[in-house]
């Protein structure tokens, strides 16, 4: 089950993202390449699947969702077992 993303968690992440959206997105690409390369590949593949959608916008939304879930998990003290 996914954790609940509280207003506190979302505010924290939005503040982080909106300081410099483009830089944050690029940092998340690098972070996910190391942390979870399969997720990063999936995000990029889906984003480029349809040439009529904005690749960067799709990726930004996916990275934002990943980060929200990641922080919510940490704040709830949930452990993910391999």
Q: Tell me what pLDDT residue 80 has.
A: 63
If 0-12 CB within 10 Å is exposed, 13-18 middle and 19+ buried, where does residue 32 land? buried
Q: For residue 17, give the DSSP letter.
A: H
Residue 81 domain flag: no
Residue 32 domain flag: yes
How many domains does the chain divide into? 1
Asked whether the predicted pLDDT for residue 11 surpasses 70, the reply is yes
CA 25/CA 58 separation, integer angstroms: 11
* Average pLDDT across the chain, whole number: 87
Residue 54 domain flag: yes
Asked whether the predicted pLDDT for residue 82 surpasses 70, the reply is no
Selected residue with higher pLDDT from 76 and 27: 27
What is the extent of the structural domain holding 30?
Answer: 7-76
Percent of the chain with pLDDT over 70: 95
Q: Tell me what pLDDT residue 21 has.
A: 93
Rg (CA), the chain: 13
Structure tokens at 6: 């509280």
Residue 82 domain flag: no
Residue 16 domain flag: yes
């Amino acid at each position: 089950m996914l954790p609940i993303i509280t207003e506190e968690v979302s505010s924290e992440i939005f503040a982080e993202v909106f300081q410099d959206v483009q830089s944050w997105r690029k940092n998340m690409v690098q972070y996910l390449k190391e942390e979870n390369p399969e997720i990063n590949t999936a995000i990029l593949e889906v984003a480029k699947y349809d040439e009529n959608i904005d690749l960067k916008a799709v990726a930004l939304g996916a990275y934002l969702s990943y980060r929200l879930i990641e922080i919510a998990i940490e704040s709830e003290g949930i452990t993910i077992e391999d």
